[in-house]
Amino acid sequence: MVVVVKKDASEEQIRDILKHLEDYGFKTHVSVGEMRTIIGAIGVQPDFDIRKVKILEGVADVYRITDPFKLASRNFKKEDTVVNIKDCKIGGDNIVLIAGPCSIESEEQIFRLAEIVHSSGAKILRGGAFKPRSSPYSFQGLGEEGLKMIRKAADEFGLLVITEVLQIGQIDLISKYADILQVGARNMQNFSLLKELGQSDIPVMLKRGLSATIEEWLMSAEYLLSSNNKNVFLCERGIRTFETYTRNTFDLSAIPVVHEKSHLPVIADPSHATGLRNQVPPMARAAIAAGADGLMIEIHDDPEKALSDGPQALLPNQYLDLIKELKLIAKAIGRNL
Ligand code: PEP
Ligand code: MN
């Protein structure tokens, strides 16, 4: 931690700052410059609340120089994490494709879409059975009936299933049907849910919160890892900004940042990030070029009648054309898709 002392701070204030830092367990090193005095505070305390120093008299600013996450950090583990689920690898050189409808709507619908997902070479079928909707009057998902349908469709086509878990009470039920549990944007900081998911080794995909910083997102991953689930990967799905022409702002720069800061795989979701079908292919291409370890894409064969997120769903032919382009981009950057 670096503490910048105010220009007009008194000797006594500086002594007081040093005393506080030492009491908090830091070793200190003072550097008196012409313009500013700076105190280096050394000591590994990832959970130290720097505001305790910010409020001291004579302090101008405080900067952290180490990250507050440990198990999720690249310093802790140099090699990329690869999450293995049956014959599917998430992370490393591979690029994983997850596709399917926003919601499971009927057995026929999920079977038709599973066939398309399979024909594209994707390994994972998505579909929500418990939906986190902004309005309580919107379609909330088919619940366990939907889980049965997606499992059956996935088994028919040799696919894995990912679906969202909204609350602790659903974990056991969903784990019976799904291979990967999705923690959605709205639940990224549901710490009780994360701790509970950390108790098992079921793979978890942690989406970035609507207004979460990358650090907060990695701290949420830290909850899963520190409760002992190492099968964790991340999903960038756009963040809320002042922009209104897109549903969210797709933070593609989060991908190289996560790769630098963390060993966890990070995939991208251009569907929720943009919210409109015509914006999905360009951003999917960009995400692969930016180094994403995979994509999650929503598709539908009758999007006008979709029970959720129809406007962002790619039609089957659009999706299949996109995959062909993505293969070329992946090859150009030396990766497999
Ligand atoms: C979803 O993937 O179905 C979903 C609801 O996404 P998010 O949590 O990113 O909004
Ligand atoms: Mn959706």
**CA 271 / ligand 2 centre spacing (Å):** 7
DSSP at 302: S
| Burial (CB count <10 Å: 0-12, 13-18, 19+), residue 34 | exposed
* Percent of residues, the chain, with pLDDT higher than 90: 94
Same fold, 2-63 and 83-332: no
Judge residue 80's burial from the number of C-beta atoms within 10 Å of its C-beta, 0-12 exposed, 13-18 middle, 19 or more buried.
middle
The mean pLDDT value of the chain amounts to: 96
CATH code of the region 2-63: 3.30.70.1140
pLDDT in tens, 35-64: 889 999 988 777 899 999 999 999 999 998
Name which of 104, 244, 252, 116 is nearest 178 in CA terms. 104
CB-ligand 1 contact for 126 (6 Å cutoff): no
DSSP secondary-structure letter at 80? P
Ramachandran quadrant class, 134 (left: phi over 0; alpha: psi -120 to 50; beta: rest): alpha
Digit-coded pLDDT (tens) for 88-138? 999 999 999 999 999 999 999 999 999 999 999 999 999 999 999 999 999
Q: Which CATH number fits domain 83-332: 1.10.3720.10, 3.10.270.10, 3.20.20.70, 3.30.420.40?
A: 3.20.20.70
State the pTM of this model.
Answer: 0.93
Residues 70-84 have a mean pLDDT of: 95
Separation CA 178–CA 23 (nearest Å): 50
- Report whether pLDDT(33) > 90: no
- Residue 45 has what pLDDT? 79
Is residue 295 predicted with pLDDT exceeding 90?
A: yes
pLDDT band at 2 (very low <50, low <70, confident <90, very high): very high
**CA–CA dist 95, 231 (Å, integer):** 17
Q: Average of pLDDT values for 144-166?
A: 98
Compute the average pLDDT of residues 199-228: 97
* CA 155 – CA 215 distance, rounded (Å): 37
Note the ligand closest to the C-alpha atom of 164.
1
Cα of 132 vs centre of ligand 2, distance in Å, is: 9
pLDDT value at position 65?
Answer: 86
Residue 151 has a pLDDT of: 98
State mean pLDDT over 138-151: 98
The CA 140 to ligand 1 mean position distance, Å, reads: 13
What was the pLDDT predicted at 145? 98
State the residue for tokens 């101008």: 60
What's the pLDDT score for residue 34?
Answer: 83
Mutating to test ligand 1, I would choose from 126, 134, 164 the residue with most ligand atoms within 8 A of its C-beta, which is 164
Using alpha carbons, list the distances in angstroms from residue 119 to 88, 108, 116, 122: 16, 17, 5, 8
- Closest C-alpha to ligand 1, atom 4: 184
- Report domain extents, the chain: 2-63, 83-332
How long is the chain? 337
In DSSP notation, 135-183 reads: STTS----THHHHHHHHHHHHHHT-EEEEE--SGGGHHHHHHH-SEEEE
